[in-house]
A and B are shown apart, each in its own frame.
Chain A
């Protein structure tokens, strides 16, 4: 992956497949350049045994093949910057995965196009779950939820091209002043 935002697009699929009703995405940039990316869902969760094994590339829930590289690739890129990945999960409650990136490391990926990732995520699952995005840095913070825009759309799908474009553009406008420094 060339961007942290692409890892987000990839691992959020895990939350969607886990049947989550809510997926909360949080980016927090500390003054020292440490970036915490947290994805919290209320999906089916994993047993402690599965959490133990889930970091292995040879563990996957899919049945077509025996490899799954989403989490291993995320770990590789987080660790390469000096950070890491933490996974907490409880069966029936949900999963929280937190990846830490030291953005001042020369080996750290850029954040990339987070607005496009969010638009793509929402487009891919327009009815459920509800997604929220919270970004914070010393420069400010922003909040966005799919729940907050649904009433204005009154039944029109979040996957309609005009809506996807609106989401992408409005998030871009809001994220740039907060996380613009680590985007590229």
Chain B
């Protein structure tokens, strides 16, 4: 196994990030990924890891990633909800890992949803 010492370093780095989170009292943006049978079969696992990777790269302190079950629109999976405090929830559909950096950069960081990836755009196409 990779060394537990490495984990110790991760712990220290993470704790300072968590301190930033609580000191700034900024509200948290939530990213929620559908992880039921339908989502997994459609490719949700790499999407989830792509979000983790991007958040890690950019050292974003005010973002949490979580998983949810099936919301009943299996044909649109993988689906991702991005909930920025004070804004309406945005649902992205047919999400692929290569779409993740743009969603993080434009929406999570800058607050502008990527319209072309949203459920609205998919339903009107």
Residues of chain A having any CB pair with chain B under 8 Å: 1, 6, 9-10, 13, 62, 64-65, 68-70, 73, 113, 116-117, 119-120, 123-124, 144, 149, 152-154, 156, 159-166, 168-170, 173-174
For A153, give its contact among B7, B65, B67 (CB under 8 Å): B7
B72 cross-chain contacts in A, Cβ below 8 A: 64-65
Q: Does B1 sit at the interface, judged by CB under 8 A?
A: yes
**Interface pair B45/A162, CB less than 8 Å apart:** no
A73 cross-chain contacts in B, Cβ below 8 A: 37, 41
A162 cross-chain contacts in B, Cβ below 8 A: 10, 13-14, 56
Residue of A nearest to B55 (CB): A161
Given contacts A116-B49, A164-B49, A169-B2, 5 further A-B contacts (CB under 8 A): A6-B41, A120-B35, A153-B7, A161-B56, A174-B1
**Interface pair B15/A156, CB less than 8 Å apart:** yes
**Interface pair B49/A168, CB less than 8 Å apart:** yes
For B2, give its contact among A68, A154, A166 (CB under 8 Å): A166
**Interface pair A6/B45, CB less than 8 Å apart:** yes
**B interface secondary structure, majority:** helix
For B6, give its contact among A6, A9, A166 (CB under 8 Å): A166
* Whole-angstrom distance between the Cβ of A51 and the nearest chain B Cβ: 19
For B66, give its contact among A124, A168, A170 (CB under 8 Å): A124
CA distance A121 to B6 in the complex (A): 21
CA distance A169 to B6 in the complex (A): 12
B15 cross-chain contacts in A, Cβ below 8 A: 156
Residue of A nearest to B41 (CB): A1
Known: A152-B7, A170-B2. A62 touches B49 (CB 8 A): no
* Whole-angstrom distance between the Cβ of A114 and the nearest chain B Cβ: 11
Known: A166-B7, A173-B2. A117 touches B45 (CB 8 A): yes
Can you offer 30 A-B residue contacts whose CB atoms are under 8 A?
A1-B41, A6-B41, A6-B45, A9-B35, A10-B36, A13-B35, A64-B70, A65-B70, A65-B72, A116-B45, A117-B45, A120-B35, A120-B48, A120-B49, A120-B67, A123-B52, A144-B1, A149-B4, A153-B11, A159-B64, A159-B66, A160-B14, A161-B56, A161-B65, A162-B10, A162-B13, A163-B10, A164-B49, A169-B2, A173-B1
